[in-house]
Structure 1
């Protein structure tokens, strides 16, 4: 069965430059072996990269930089969202923008569609 996006439609390709996805096929698929739920089709910001590094996952160490498209763990994306609301000097710019049509429906296990839509750069197609 083909992977579905958050609208329960076929999942769109997210990025091949850099090649992303848990299986490195360009899609934010979540196979059973992906315990991290790399389902969120994000555009990385420098603020998110700093935040992720501060949480122990330095994505710059694998060559990523601000502006790269990457399949982000749903939990890390949600942590950034919660941090942005926590009043600890972390603003909303830490939360990566998302492509809804490229975000796997498995993201909805951790994140509400409403929260994803707040940071969306696309609409349902």
Structure 2
């Protein structure tokens, strides 16, 4: 069965360079073994990468043992849903820059995230290519 995106269409590829997804297949699919829920496709920003590092998740340093190339601003990546929500809440609670919340690529974000984030919020943070 084909997975769907938050727009109700077929899920698009998030990124092949760097290769992302829980299974490193380029897509933000759902997987029973994925406790982190890497279902949201986002475009990295300097502010988000710093925010994530402050929370103990360094997304910049390559980790070849996990097939992780390290990320730079502008890279698309299937993020853990909880980290994206944490960044969203931090911008509200701590008045961090809006760019702390990385823009969402709607056609590559799995519809499964709608159980935690409403579509309007995702659209308000949509990547405008």
The gaps in structure 2 that reach 5 residues or longer are 63-69
Once residues 32 and 8 of structure 2 are traced to their aligned partners in structure 1, the CA distance between those partners, rounded to angstroms, is 18
C-alpha deviation, 1:8, in angstroms = 2.3
Cα deviation 1:90-122 (Å, max 9, x = unaligned) = 121100001111000111122111110001125
1:73 aligns with 2:80: yes
Q: Does the 8 Å CA contact 1:85/1:91 hold for their aligned counterparts?
A: no
The gaps in structure 1 that reach 5 residues or longer are none
Q: Does the 8 Å CA contact 2:43/2:127 hold for their aligned counterparts?
A: no
Aligned match of 1:26: 26
TM-score of the two chains, using structure 1 as the length reference: 0.92
RMSD: 1.4
TM-score of the two chains, using structure 2 as the length reference: 0.89
Aligned match of 1:3: 3
Q: 2:126 aligns with which of 112, 120, 124?
A: 120
